[in-house]
Structure 1
Amino acid sequence: MSPKHIAAALTLALGLIQAPGILAAGNAPARSGPKAPPGEDLVARTVFQTLVGEFALQRGDARLASDAWTDLAVRTRDPAVVARATEVAAFARQYDRAIELAALWLEIEPDSAKARQMQASLLTLSGRLDELAPQLAAMLAQDPDNLGNNLLHLNRLLSRIGDKKALQGMVDRLTAPYGERPEAHFAMAQAAAAAGDEGRALAETDRALQLRPDWEVAALIRTQLQARLLGPARAADSLGDFVDRNPGARDARLTLARLLIAEKRYGEARTHFERLLKDHPDNPEIIYPVAMLVLQNGDTTTGRQQLEHLLQTDFPDKSTVHFFLGQLDQEQKQPAAALAHYLQVSGGDQYIPARGRAAQILLGQGQADAARQLLHETRAGTPAERVQLTLAEAQLLREAGRHNDAYITLATALETQADNPDLLYEAALTAERIGKPEILETHLKRLLELKPDHAHALNALGYSLADRNVRLDEAHDLIRRALALSPDDPFITDSLGWVLYRQGRLPEALQVLETAYRLKADPEIAAHLGEVLWKLERRDDARRILQEAAGRHPDNEVLNAARQKLQP
């Protein structure tokens, strides 16, 4: 036990000894409790039991601690001791004892709000709802100065009740005497929503707002309910009326702008952005969400202006701002500016992605070694971050044409994280690129042992077999399973078309590959489709598909290999 806890226990014990009704000699009765046995030293007993209780808690023996404090509470009937005994009994999960102690506490201090709140919490934890309701009613009635706040906390106090319909009924009964209070209707709305009665919840929030028309929190809750029950357009209109009546409602206006963007009502949304920025020109809590919303709307000019402005404020997460500015610079073909921003990302969720993007920019500038060194110097605080860095380095090496080095990087990481799904998948694909399909199979089979429903692993293994023209029935089964898991994936659809082609089922292969190409005009899908068309003697169609794809993707290896094969 620490000196701090010993001191606290002694302070409490000495306070009891000096309290009115407890004599230092130890032979007088403890307040209105039982008399001490003849010859007993009450001083020593009080100190002893106080220390026993606290020592027991420190040692993890909650039951012994509860016994010591409960005995002392009954002997002394001191409110501070009874309160501590109640807390310890609750900590020991002796809820029946704790409830009895709370009742004793209220007997000694009938007006104690803390005692009544403790009793209500304990009755909730033990599920004694019939006893709970009158206690809560008394708690509300006896504290009129804090009635509104107590009504708002009702649902939080009762959140452990599993039967939400029973909870709703109790809240309705408790709030019934306070129908003129908006907080009562808000409490009823919360309980109704928890019970799945959203229509009732909406009606109660409406009533709360009738009684308190400027209540922003209630307006926001009503908006959520309206969006689910009546649709986002109706919710936006209703919130717009609220904002018109309460132009200073900052959070409501921001929520309204989000709703309007979701509804593609961009002009109306911009009006609210401009008002927010006018009213709060230097407030990071406004600038940041507005910047994100205008970027979502495609307004990169305003988004950049607000992000750059944010860097001049006391916004705490400057790293995130630099990350988004780096993205904007990359999209606008300004790699040097993007690199400068990415290198200023020093922490947070965007740290590893920013370093990966910075490395890609260095690679594009012909600085492959510097890019790899940057990743090596990047700190990884968790195993997941180390995996992200490994994957980024492997991608870097692949793009530099160093596929063998990429595989070595992944294989080295697998030595310490042998069952990491991302490492297994990337190592498998990289092994195939260096001509080692047997290693691909080993990694993918292990991945499928760990995650049997990994659609991409099923597809990769099936496609590898089909592309090598071996075990085609197995390949077909694997790809079918993958497609059942991801039916709209164009690449898995392409794999199915390719295995059908290998099986000689040309009409079926053509139909499937045409579907895949409609889903995504990818150059490798075009190569497969062109080959099937060529095999079906539709050579003009094959040439057209291949030429169109080559115009969009002139450097794609698979596409160029197919063109060379069919049109030498």
Structure 2
Amino acid sequence: MTAFRPHGILFVSGADMNLYRISFVAVLAGAFGAATLAKTTQDSVPARKTEASTVPQEQFVLPNSALPKKDSVRAEAYFNYTMGHIYEQQYEATSRAEYATSAIEAYKKAYALDPKSPVIGERLAEMYWKAQRIREAVAEAQEILKRNPDDVQSRRLLGRIYLRSLGDLSSGSGQSETVGRAIEQYREINRLDPTDTESALWLARLYRLKNEHDKAEQVLRGILKTDPENELAVEQLTQLLMDEGKSAEAVALLEGTAGHSPSPVLLDLLGDAYTQAHDLAKAEQAYRKAQELDPSELSHQRGLGQTLLAEEKYAEALAVFQKLSDLMPDDSDVYLRIAQIYRELHQLDKAESNLVKARQYAPGSLEVMYNEAMLYQAQGRYEDAIRVLSDGVTGVKAQPAAQPTRRRSLAILYQQLGQLYRDTQNYQAAVFTYEELGRLGEEEDRRARMMIMDTYRAAKDLPKALAAGKEALGKYPADPSIRASHALLLGESGQTEDAVKILRAQLRGNEADREVYLNIAQVYERGRRYKEAEESVRAAEVLPGQARDNEMVWFLLGAIYERQKFFDKAEEQFRKVLAVNPKSAPVLNYYGYMLGDLGIRLDEAEALVQRALKEEPFSGAYLDSLGWIYFKQGKLAASETTLRKAVERESHDATIHSHLGDLYAKMGRGDLAAAEWEKSLNEWRRSLPADVEPEKVAELEKKLSQSKRRLAQKSTSSVAKP
């Protein structure tokens, strides 16, 4: 009743004559898998006879050449595994219980012959699951363990059944209990058979799943103690160390292993570790080596592209991701990275078209939505950006509270949404958004409170900012970041000594003092105590670190010199910053504005501010700088256009209104000039105490008084005419 066809074996059931085609390739694959895993079985294990019921003659007829010889354990395991695979496929095709039973019995016999085989154990556990006989399998194994607690084979089967169950459980108490049961079995296996590396690796994975990282690390280091070249153990331990932020240890482990036994997987991990350690040059090198060893593995190219993007090597990164888009045309992440690159290159139309593709292949993706909002922000489409992020918040809030990523996703969205509200001067909405952020948990609450303080400061509402700081200190009195934020607010209110006292208490005599010294310098600078401010900045400058660590040091020092009208010294510091970071928009703007305000090297000043605007095209402060330089150059029409844009972005900035008033005065539009100067004075009166510049206010009052007098005289003269 058996017939052979060119592409398969046709089995005929004597019971109902139904035909079931089973792929010959699939059967051979299963058979060879069993043979490979069975080869480790020791020849000393006695061979067992196969019961006649294993292959009912009315169901199967195999050619003699396909039947393995039964004179060895390996052959018998091979045979039973193959038969189990055949029965399993028949069960999948028919859902008939007898085939499930036959498959389980065949796998059990194969497993008895080769109890260490992970493949046979997995197939048996999977078959129990398919047949919905999990309880039976567990009960049978537990009964054996009652009689013999050291039965490793039963523990392996139980462990694999629990692992199989995890895939069908959502996070919660059920999953936690199953993980605990699996750990119990694999811990015992590890005790009874320390040579079973496969089970030890599973034990480490399970410990990591329960966030018991110390235990996982102990297991993995135990494996590496006896087998230092075990790549899977190195891989797991590396990931564990990186999860804990121990990038230096991860790098050391991988350099030691990959140095004398390089593999694409380990080199790829080494690239990840270097990236976490902020050593992007070495990360790039590691990814390139991994790619050379295994050009077909696209993850190496992806890692390389990400590193090139982080290194701001945009042209090279773009080439990598464009190649990936050809190889993976439906991968949304690739289009997302291309969009990010184009955004950095200020090619916003191309960025948007690639975001459309990313959204097409990953509808509802939070990361795509976030990048879409960032693009809208770069285009000055703030309302669209706010809408996208608000939709994202709504979508994430609809997720179950137990969803692992829900809290982190909301935190990211709330933080960016609050910043957008601040950018549009909707401070009340920003505070509300940060309050929502704070409700997510303690970590988010600490961060939200600092943002609320800073939002009130930006809104020039110092009493509310100080009250928010006092409340935050009451809840988190030892939090160094909250204490620093509160101290800076005290500095804004003129309480310089109190602020400095709080900050000096945070000095620890290490590299972390750089930020503390800079905060102290800012407090002194706000109090116009420039000598002490400079001393604090210099104390930060001498601390060990890389050149880029001193960007803020030199910027602040330049600002301190500029405030004292030491313009040459200020310029020297600004040039230091631009030497290590030519794209530093705040420095480019400050430097350019300083030159423009002095009325010197105006072309250079314009170029500097244009570079700043290339990085942040819609900054009101930068637009004001450019408009003022145009004014100094006599380009009055361009100045008006630019200053009007600036005041649209920063409607409560006293300096912008003052500049616009000066422009209108020069254009002979006295009424408009007076109106802008009046607005400027009102904003100065609302300013924080440390922001007020008495000389500028006095000059403004004088100009406004003279303007009103001229306007009054003009009005009187007009009335007096017949």
Q: Shorter-normalised TM-score: what interval?
A: 0.5 to 0.7
Aligned length: 415
| Residue number in structure 1 paired with 2:490 | 533
Q: Could you say if the C-alpha distance between residues 425 and 466 of structure 1 is closer, same or farther in structure 2, counting changes exceeding 3 Å?
A: same
Specify the alignment match of 2:419 in structure 1.
Answer: 463
Distance in structure 2 (CA, Å) of the matches to 1:143 and 1:411: 55
What one-letter code is carried by the residue in structure 2 that aligns with 1:248? Answer: T
CA displacement 1:308-352 (0-9 Å, x = unmatched): 3443xxx6xx2x332223345556776544323223434344532
Q: Percent identity?
A: 10
Where do 1:366-377 residues align within 5 Å? 369-377=315-323
Aligned residue runs from structure 1 range 35-50, under 5 A = none
Q: Residue 332 of structure 2: which of 384, 397, 401 is its match?
A: 384
In the other structure, the counterpart of 1:180 is none
Q: What code does the residue aligned with 1:440 have?
A: A
* Rounded Cα–Cα distance in structure 1 between residues aligned with 2:185 and 2:110: 32
Distance 1:488 1:300 in 2: 29
Please tell me whether residue 495 in structure 1 is matched to residue 436 in structure 2.
no
Distance 1:221 1:272 in 2: 20
- Unaligned residue ranges in structure 2 (runs of 5+): 22-54, 62-82, 164-175, 399-408, 504-514, 520-539, 544-548, 564-687, 694-722
| C-alpha distance in 1 between matches for 2:144 and 2:474 | 51
- 1:136–1:352 CA distance, 2 compared to 1 (3 A): closer
The answer to whether 1:411 aligns with 2:352 is yes
CA contact (8 A) 2:473 2:483 kept: no
1:395-474 aligned at under 5 Å gives the runs: 397=344, 405=346, 407-417=348-358, 421-429=366-374, 431-432=376-377, 437-448=382-393, 451=396, 455=410, 456-466=412-422, 468-470=424-426, 472=428, 474=429
1:510, CA displacement in angstroms?
A: 0.3
SS, match of residue 306 in structure 1? helix
Question: Does structure 1 residue 85 correspond to structure 2 residue 18?
Answer: yes
What is the aligned-residue RMSD (CA, Å)? 5.8
Tell me the alpha carbon deviations over residues 139-173 of structure 1, each in whole angstroms, 9 at most, x when there is no partner: 999999779589987764453566x7xx63xx3xx
Distance 1:267 1:139 in 2: 38
- Relative to structure 1, the CA distance from residue 109 to residue 214 in structure 2 (aligned partners, 3 Å threshold; closer, same or farther) is closer
- Contact persistence 1:459–1:479 (CA under 8 A): yes
Map residues 51-450 of structure 1 onto 2, 5 A cutoff.
Answer: 80=13, 82=15, 84-85=17-18, 87=20, 109=58, 156-160=126-130, 168=135, 171=136, 187-188=138-139, 201=142, 205=145, 207=147, 209-210=149-150, 212=151, 217=156, 238=188, 241-242=191-192, 246-254=193-201, 262-263=213-214, 270-277=221-228, 288-289=235-236, 298=249, 300-311=251-262, 318=264, 320-329=265-274, 335-344=280-289, 345=291, 346=295, 347-361=297-311, 363=312, 369-379=315-325, 381=328, 382-390=330-338, 392-393=340-341, 397=344, 405=346, 407-417=348-358, 421-429=366-374, 431-432=376-377, 437-448=382-393
Partner residue in 2 for 1:481:
436
1:102-121 residue CA offsets vs partner (Å, 9 max, x unmatched): xxxx999599999x969995
Residue of 442, 447, 464 corresponding to 1:505: 464
Residues in 2 aligned to 1:80 and 1:237: alpha-carbon distance in whole angstroms: 45
- Alpha-carbon distance, 1:219 to partner: 8.7
Using the TM superposition, give the Cα deviation of residue 421 of structure 1 relative to its aligned residue in structure 2, in angstroms. 3.7
For the structure 1 residues 498 and 220, does the alpha-carbon distance in structure 2 shift closer, same or farther, using more than 3 Å as the test? same
Amino acid at match of 2:332: A
2:348 touches 2:375 (CA, 8 Å); kept in 1? yes
Q: Is the 8 Å Cα contact of residues 356 and 392 (structure 1) preserved in structure 2? A: no
1:208 CA drift (Å):
5.2
Counterpart Cα distance in 1 of 2:376 and 2:107: 72
* Alpha-carbon distance, 1:477 to partner: 3.3
| Deviation digits for residues 504-557 of structure 1 (CA, Å, limit 9, x no counterpart) | 5335420465599989877xx888545533355543354565754554965459
**CA offsets, 1:439-494, max 9 Å, x none?**
4334434545655566233442333324544361x333333333334552254443
1:238 offset after TM fit, Å?
A: 4.5
Letter in 1 for 2:270: L
Q: 1:520 to 1:187 in 2, by over 3 A?
A: same
